[in-house]
Amino acid sequence: MKRQTAISRERARRSFEERLVVAKRSRTVEDAKFRARQAQGKLRRFVQIQFHKQEVVEALSLRRGDCNRCGACCEILFKCPFLKKNDDDTTTCGIYEDRPGQCRLFPIERRDLEEVRGSCSYYFIEKPVKLEKAS
Ligand code: SF4
Ligand code: SF4
């Protein structure tokens, strides 16, 4: 009887460890995907701001809300060395007046919000549908 209990316990322990390994692996995969999305986003915004200014203006016309100064966009891929955390949980940019365009304009479009895991207080409205001219 005792032996049976020990075997069951050992099985339960193994199954728990196996589930732990699977969970860890899937978390690592999710993290890798998230970081890849952040890297793509950084590059996309850089290209948009440098070469597609009109597209940026149009995209920003759909943006609403204000910045809550959470600083999440300053930690995309890595923590910016100019980011300062305040006691009240807000953040300050150490080079605010001279910060790059990518910082000034974040988020440019809705998909950018996915890179900050819901911390951003901006949101986007749908593009208004153009009405056909009445004949
Ligand atoms: S330069 Fe300023 S705004 Fe840009 S990521 Fe760094 S701390 Fe944030
Ligand atoms: S993630 Fe959004 S709300 Fe937070 S600091 Fe950046 S722009 Fe502001």
With the most atoms of ligand 2 within 8 angstroms of its CB, the residue from 63, 70, 77, 88 to mutate is: 70
Task: Please write the tens of the pLDDT for every residue from 74-130.
Answer: 999 999 999 999 999 999 999 999 999 999 999 999 999 999 999 999 999 999 887
pLDDT, tens digit, for every residue of 33-66? Answer: 999 999 999 999 999 999 999 999 999 999 999 9
Angle (CA) 83-89-93 rounded to 5° is 20
- Compute, in angstroms, the gap from residue 66 CA to the centroid of ligand 2: 8
- Ligand 1 lining (C-beta closer than 6 Å): 74, 80, 82-83, 93, 95, 99, 103
pLDDT value, residue 83 = 98
User: Whole-model pTM?
Assistant: 0.81
21 contact partners, CB below 8 Å, separation of at least 6: none
Whether 135 shows a pLDDT value over 60: the answer reads: no
Q: Is residue 119 within 6 Å of ligand 2 at its C-beta?
A: yes
